[in-house]
Amino acid sequence: MSTLKSPPAWVKDAVFYQIFPDRFSRSGKVDMGLRLDAWDEPPTTTGYKGGDLWGVIDKLDYLRDLGITALWLNPIFQSASNHRYHTHDYYRVDPLLGGNDAFDELIAAAHARDMKVILDGVFNHASRGFFPFSDVAEHQEKSAYVDWFRIREFPIAPYDEDTPATYDAWWGIHALPVLNTDLPAVSEFLWDVATHWIERGADGWRLDVPNEIQTPGFWDEFRTRVRAVNPEAYLTGEIWHEATEWVGEAGPFDGVMNYPLTTATIAYGIGNRIDEAAIVDNNDYFVTPGLNAGAFADRVDWLHSIYGPEQRTAMLNLLDSHDTGRMMSMAGGDPELVILCLAILFTMPGAPCIYYGTEVGLEGGPDPDCRRGFPWDAMDAAPTITTAVEELISLRHAQPGLRSADFERLGPMPGPDFGRTYLYARGTGAERVVVAINHADEPDEVPLTAEVLVPAATRLWGTAVQDASNALQMPPRSIGIWNAPQP
């Protein structure tokens, strides 16, 4: 069992799958006379496509067969937005998703398949429809809930988009009033929400913009209360940059969304072949310029130097998400480049996370285009990617070394020759695995010593070849993964 400050033991073995509920699967069970956008039409910022939690339940066997062991659901609570980051009611699953009954059924069905479910917690800001803010909008300075928010001037005009909000609002968006967590009643409300859904069966939280809650001790108390209910609950935060103060003994979370690894992986795996139209505008999202093998290795070494072994294995590693362009679009539709990045994702320390549809080559540019409906009627559009995902997940489950904290850089070594091929080892002893990736459009030859890769090493996956001289012959855009035991 995990201690209060150590990550849950199950996370290092997990393979996550991120689901945007409105766009994953429509069950047909939510019949509320809804006007829904066509499933295959381009997504919009306001339209609903009608995916629901019953639809997620219908696809659990598909996810299990893929090798998924944990789900991260984007917000599911009642809201007036298709992404549901505008929370109206923190205690009610949105009726469009099937309501609380669908949630209970999903938890039961997922747990019956040994799958975990973590929820998206949006606790920095609420919405215009959140009942305390509605009361303020109705009664202005006479509202009993005035202190729940940071209001600078009355009257507030939450629907007047032509003038700046006179209250703190996330990124100045009128619809997203910031909660005043300095008020003890607000913090208590949010902590109760957090424990309520853990008690109801959720296995953890992904916390939205947690760095924007500045109330001293808020997240430490959040962790204490959640872990008191479930000592194995996983807490991960949306931090886009280096986050040592947020994890381990110094911080409240088990891990964070590992965007520094995301961006480095894309800059190496796709490199200067990236389609810049698919890149999101975020100050912490550095996918250009491209990286060679040495520069990428240096970036990975830095990440491993700032986090301890437990934190490395509890990071939520990802390639794309609801906030970024999709991998297939960033790669300009080239599945080989996507597979290079996937190979890195599944062989690095941390819990890999697949964004729904990436495994079938779903395309999409920046929001809202990255939130398209899952192409259930065209799942064979990118069979090479699907096969690679299935095989890489299976390999990760089968090889304990790939799920360990152990990591050794094998090449290129620091120096003037930064090369094309990145070479590293995972695990130790009989569980040691060696990974080689050549991101270039040209072949590469990598001489090796027997200490790096013994001649009798067993190739587990990929097209790279170990020749008679114990050199690696790396075709263009190639991957090689070996079981390479050491005494």
Comparing C-alpha atoms, which of 286, 302, 356, 245 is closest to residue 21? 356
Under the banding of pLDDT at 50, 70 and 90, the label for residue 487 is confident
Percent of the chain past pLDDT 70, that is, above it, reads: 98
Is residue 128 over pLDDT 80? yes
pLDDT tens digits, 342-376: 999 999 999 999 999 999 999 999 999 999 999 99
Comparing C-alpha atoms, which of 44, 43, 32 is closest to residue 94? 32
> Quick one: pLDDT at residue 452?
87
For strands 204-207 and 116-121, give the pairing.
Answer: parallel
Comparing C-alpha atoms, which of 224, 212, 252, 249 is closest to residue 236? 252
Query: In the 3-class helix/strand/coil scheme, how is the chain assigned residue by residue?
Result: CCCCCCCCHHHHHCCEEEECHHHHCCCCCCCCCCCCCCCCCCCCCCCCCCCCHHHHHHCHHHHHHHCCCEEEECCCEEECCCCCCCEEEEEEECHHHCHHHHHHHHHHHHHHCCCEEEEEECCCECCCCCHHHHHHHHHHHHCCCHHHECECCCCCCCCCCCCCCCECEHHHCCCCEEECCCCHHHHHHHHHHHHHHHHCCCCEEEECCHHHCCCCCHHHHHHHHHHHHCCCCEEEECCCCCCHHHEHHHCCECEEECHHHHHHHHHHHCHHHCCHHHCCCCCCCCCCCCCCHHHHHHHHHHHHHHCCHHHHHHCEEECCCCCCCCHHHHCCCCHHHHHHHHHHHCCCCCEEEEECCHHHCCCCCCCCHHHCCCCHHHCCCCHHHHHHHHHHHHHHHHCHHHHCCCEEEEECCCCCCCCCEEEEEECCHHHCEEEEEECCCCCEEEECCCCCCCCCCEEEEECCEECCCCEEEECCCEEEEEECCCC
Is residue 1 over pLDDT 60? no
- Residue 416 token pair: 């003037």
The mean of the pLDDT values for the chain is: 96
Please state the pTM of the whole predicted model. 0.97
Rounded to an integer, the average pLDDT of 376-388 is 92
Q: Facing residues of 34 across strands? A: none
Cβ count near 67 (within 10 Å): 20
Q: How far apart are alpha carbons 400 and 72 in whole angstroms? A: 23
Q: Phi/psi at 440 (nearest 5 deg)?
A: -80, 165
Evaluated on CA atoms 81, 83, 86, 90, the torsion sign reads positive
Is residue 2 over pLDDT 60? no
Cis peptide before 412 (omega within 30 of 0): yes
pLDDT tens digits, 117-127: 999 999 999 99
pLDDT tens digits, 68-80: 999 999 999 999 9
Residues labelled as active-site residues: 208, 238
Contacts made by residues 270-274, CB under 8 angstroms, sequence distance 24+:
270/330, 270/331, 270/337, 270/340, 270/341, 271/439, 273/331, 273/332, 273/334, 273/337, 274/330, 274/331, 274/332
Q: Phi/psi at 176 (nearest 5 deg)?
A: -125, 70
C-beta separation of 118 from 112 below 8 A: no
Comparing C-alpha atoms, which of 396, 6, 15 is closest to residue 233? 6
Percent of the chain past pLDDT 90, that is, above it, reads: 91
Rounded to an integer, the average pLDDT of 134-161 is 97
pLDDT tens digits, 393-443: 999 999 999 999 999 999 997 665 678 999 999 999 999 999 999 999 999
> Quick one: pLDDT at residue 3?
59
> Quick one: pLDDT at residue 379?
85
Under the banding of pLDDT at 50, 70 and 90, the label for residue 195 is very high
> Quick one: pLDDT at residue 110?
99
Taken in order of first residue, the domains within the chain and their CATH numbers are: 9-400 (3.20.20.80), 402-483 (2.60.40.1180)
